[in-house]
Amino acid sequence: MEQFFHGFLVVCMAVLAVCIIACIIRAILGPRISDRIVAINMIGTMSIIIITLMSVLLHEGYLVDVAMLYAMLSFLAVVVLTKVYMGVYVEKHQKEEKKKEAKEEK
């Protein structure tokens, strides 16, 4: 039974690795910024799951602490990326409004 459990964990980590590669492709290809942000968030989440599975596989409790730290960093990274994207979005729309106002005045 132990050998089956070990093999199952390895297969789960392999499947998650393939999913991470698919998310990397989505993050590179886009087509929208929101797709890229979601892909980065999914990569972080799947990495946390892999670290946690490794903790069970290796019987090492400290890896759960590493996973929690990585979860906090991943969350922070997504918040910062979203904040930067929203700033660019707002700035773009303000420029468009100024152009419209300038055309209306002429």
The number of angstroms, rounded, from the C-alpha of 21 to the middle of its chain's C-alpha atoms is: 12
- Count CB neighbours of 96 within 10 A: 10
User: How many residues appear in the chain?
Assistant: 106
24 near 11, Cβ under 8 Å?
no
Q: For residue 91, what are the domain limits?
A: 2-105
List the one residue out of 6, 4, 3, 1 whose CA is nearest residue 56.
Answer: 6
pLDDT of residue 106: 67
64 near 55, Cβ under 8 Å?
yes
pLDDT of residue 14: 96
Domains: count for the chain: 1
pTM of the model: 0.80
Residues of the chain with pLDDT under 50: none
pLDDT of residue 79: 92
